[in-house]
């Protein structure tokens, strides 16, 4: 996976050749995951932060449901 250059004024050509590694073509992508983090073409981590926030909300909701279940059992 290859990310396109961010500054198009410094590129020599608008068309890039197909890269081959061990006989397999390497694709140009908008973003990809590397070591658990999302790397994007814009060189920002906004999408990775949004993913982490969604995960945090999901875990918090699961925790509050468990707490509510425990309190409900204590009342009975």
> Among residues 27, 61, 29, which one has the least CA distance to residue 42?
29
Whole-angstrom Cα distance, residue 5 to residue 40? 11
Average pLDDT per 10 consecutive residues for the chain, totaling 76 residues: 64 72 82 80 79 92 89 74
pTM > 0.85: yes or no: no
Provide the pLDDT for residue 10: 67
**Helix, strand, or coil here: 72?**
helix
Provide the pLDDT for residue 62: 93
> Among residues 37, 38, 40, which one has the least CA distance to residue 6?
40
Provide the pLDDT for residue 64: 92
**Helix, strand, or coil here: 45?**
coil
């Amino acid at each position: 996976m290859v990310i396109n250059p961010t500054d198009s004024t410094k590129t020599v050509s608008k068309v890039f050749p197909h890269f081959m590694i061990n006989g397999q073509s390497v694709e140009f992508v908008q973003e990809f995951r590397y070591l658990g983090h999302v790397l994007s073409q814009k060189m920002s981590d906004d999408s990775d932060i949004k993913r982490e926030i969604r995960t945090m909300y999901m875990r918090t909701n699961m925790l509050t449901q468990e707490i509510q279940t425990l309190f409900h059992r204590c009342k009975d």
